[in-house]
Each structure stands twice: as C-alpha cells, then as structure tokens.
C-alpha cells in the first residue's frame, strides 16, 4: 500500500466545491486540519473555458487538485439533454487537466461515476468491467465523458509521470443534494415527492417498476474515501467507492416514505424506463486498502431529510 500523506499546509483546489460532492470534500478537508483550500463558484469561473481555468489554476498554484466538478442529473435530465452532458463534462475535465498539468500539479484525483460500466456487467461490478460492453442508453453521453476522464488520467500518468488517480463512486446522496424534480437523482427526488405528498395528502407516482437494484453511499463517506485514496493509492487503475450493498428501488421508496412519515399510496409508472437492472460495485480493492464506509442508509436518509427540511423546504 502506498503511503503519501498529504501535507496539512498543502494548497488544495477542490473543483466543484459548491456542489454535493465538492462541499462534502471541503468539509472533510477542514475537519482534518487543511486550511489552504481553493475553490471558485461557477459564477466566478466557467470551467468549460480552458483559458480562464488555466489562468485561475496558475495563479492559485495548488499542490493537489480534486476534480468533483461535473454537469450531473438523473434519468430525465440525461435522456433529454445528452449533448449538454457530453460536451460540458468533456470541456470541464479537459480544462482542469490541462490547467493542472501546465501548473505542474503532481497529485490529482478525478471523480467519475458508476454509470461508466456496461449495462449488463457481471455483479458486483469490478473495475476490470470497464469498456467490456454496451452502456445504459439513458445516460451513455455522460458515461462516455467520464470514461474519457479515466483514460485521460491514465494517459497523463504514462506520458508525463503524473501521480494522478481516479475513483468511481456509486449513487450518492446527502446534505447539499439537488432536490429539483426535473434534474435530481432518485433518492433526493423521492424525499421531495414523499414530503410534498405527505403535506398535500396526494399520491406519489414513481418511474419504472421499482425492481432495479441500486447501491447508495452517503457523500460524507465518499469524502472520507477521497482523502484516504490521496494518502494511500497511486496506480493506473480506477477504484470503486461504495458500500458493497444494494436494495431495490421499491425498498428505497418504502424506506424514504417511512423516514418522511408518508402513509399514502405509491403508484409505479411501468411505462417509464427503469434504467440499468442492477448496479452494485465490487469494492474489494478499496476495502483491501483499509477503508470502510461509516454511515448506514436509513440514518443517512434521516439526516438528509432533516437537511432538506431546514435548508430547502
């Protein structure tokens, strides 16, 4: 196991620090005693602009870059705007990688997504499944961009000797999530739908059959894994980050309804797509390095719902 503990005085640029993932990483860094943190909101820096990104990174002179910036969304957003998801993510990634290389940043961690793996990959999905089959059509544009990011990391390592790494988290949730019903992922969308229905006395309608199985990781656990990998991992291969456990979407709905206190009916619209039948990550590589998640699903949903009620509702 590699041991390259980060200097607490290191300048760390967290790209996307205002989002769900980036804000969790920022909190984790602060909790560990890191104080020289750098980040720009999208209103301050458009990461699709390569020259502006290069200038900003050059001036900040970071020792470490963590790439949590991305255009993200659920099935509806991905299936209706694939060009935007492909182009924006490719531009963001390329801008940051080029800027980091030009600024001689030797340590970088790129975060992708479990949607990079084939739709019908053997379960649980190991890192070696990458590029072995067809992708899920509803989010293949986003997945292709993330796959390009992984290849870019490997290419910078091979051509320039950079100590850059990549990690692929499973489905994430937690404080700071997006609860907009047109662009959110399944878990925050459920929280909002069930909460609204509880208050309005209405029925909840959910996409698909409820049969697909999904794995969910609290974003604070992901942040913990990111810091762990920066201290303990330095290799070409990407690393899966997850819990190693999954549930059906129907079971997730029942859990969210219980947390929210919704006691009405739930209808399933089988005419809407289910997406990938199952997506459970093989996390043996990360666990072999010594990392484990700490936040169980129901307590994590309870904390997320409390955050939603306080900050969004």
Q: Any known ligand binding at 217?
A: no
Q: Any known ligand binding at 132?
A: no
- The structure tokens 């009405």 sit at 264
CB 264 within 8 A of CB 201: yes
Helix, strand or coil, per DSSP, at residue 118 = coil
Helix, strand or coil, per DSSP, at residue 305 = helix
Q: Any known ligand binding at 5?
A: no
Q: Any known ligand binding at 17?
A: yes
Q: 216 - beta bridge partners?
A: 171
CB 175 within 8 A of CB 303: yes
Q: Any known ligand binding at 36?
A: no
Q: Any known ligand binding at 146?
A: yes
Question: What is the rounded distance in angstroms from the CA atom of residue 155 to the CA atom of residue 292?
Answer: 29
Q: Any known ligand binding at 277?
A: no
Helix, strand or coil, per DSSP, at residue 243 = coil
Question: What is the rounded distance in angstroms from the CA atom of residue 265 to the CA atom of residue 168?
Answer: 35
Question: What is the rounded distance in angstroms from the CA atom of residue 14 to the CA atom of residue 64?
Answer: 9
Question: What is the rounded distance in angstroms from the CA atom of residue 64 to the CA atom of residue 141?
Answer: 28
249 token code pair? 């979407």
Q: Any known ligand binding at 205?
A: no
Q: Any known ligand binding at 6?
A: no
Question: Within 10 Å of residue 209's Cβ, how many Cβ atoms?
Answer: 15
Q: Which residues are catalytic?
A: 142
Q: Any known ligand binding at 285?
A: no
Q: If we measure between CA atoms, which residue out of 250, 278, 283 comes closest to residue 115?
A: 278
Q: Any known ligand binding at 18?
A: yes
Q: Any known ligand binding at 72?
A: no
Annotated binding site: 16-22, 111-114, 146, 169-172, 185, 193, 207, 214, 274
Annotated binding site for substrate: 193, 207, 214, 274
Annotated binding site for NADP(+): 16-22, 111-114, 146, 169-172, 185
């Amino acid at each position: 196991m590699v041991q390259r503990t980060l200097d607490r005085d290191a300048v760390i640029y967290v790209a996307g620090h205002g989002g769900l993932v980036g804000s969790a990483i920022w909190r984790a860094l602060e909790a560990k005693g890191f104080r020289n943190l750098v980040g720009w909101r999208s209103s301050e820096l458009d990461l699709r602009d390569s020259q502006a990104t290069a200038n900003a990174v050059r001036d900040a002179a970071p020792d470490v870059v963590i790439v949590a910036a991305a255009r993200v969304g659920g099935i509806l957003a991905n299936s209706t705007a694939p060009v935007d998801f492909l182009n924006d993510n490719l531009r963001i990634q390329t801008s940051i990688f080029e800027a980091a290389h030009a600024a001689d940043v030797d340590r970088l961690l790129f975060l992708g997504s479990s949607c990079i793996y084939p739709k019908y990959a053997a379960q649980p999905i190991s890192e070696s499944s990458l590029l072995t089959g067809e992708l899920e059509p509803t989010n293949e544009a986003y997945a292709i961009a993330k796959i390009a990011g992984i290849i870019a990391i490997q290419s910078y390592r091979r051509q320039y000797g950079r100590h850059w790494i990549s990690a692929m988290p499973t489905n994430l949730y937690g404080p700071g999530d997006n609860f907009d019903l047109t662009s959110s992922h399944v878990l925050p969308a459920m929280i909002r739908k069930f909460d609204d229905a509880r208050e309005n006395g209405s029925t909840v309608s959910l996409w698909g059959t409820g049969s697909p199985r999904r794995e969910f990781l609290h974003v604070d656990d992901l942040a913990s894994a990111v810091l762990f990998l920066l201290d303990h991992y330095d290799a070409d291969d990407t690393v899966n980050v997850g819990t190693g456990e999954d549930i059906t979407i129907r079971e997730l709905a029942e859990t969210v309804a219980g947390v929210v206190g919704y006691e009405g009916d739930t209808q399933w619209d089988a005419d809407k797509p289910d997406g990938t039948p199952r997506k459970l990550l093989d996390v043996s590589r990360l666990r072999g390095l010594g990392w484990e998640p700490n936040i169980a699903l129901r307590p994590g949903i309870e904390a997320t719902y409390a955050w939603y009620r306080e900050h969004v509702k």
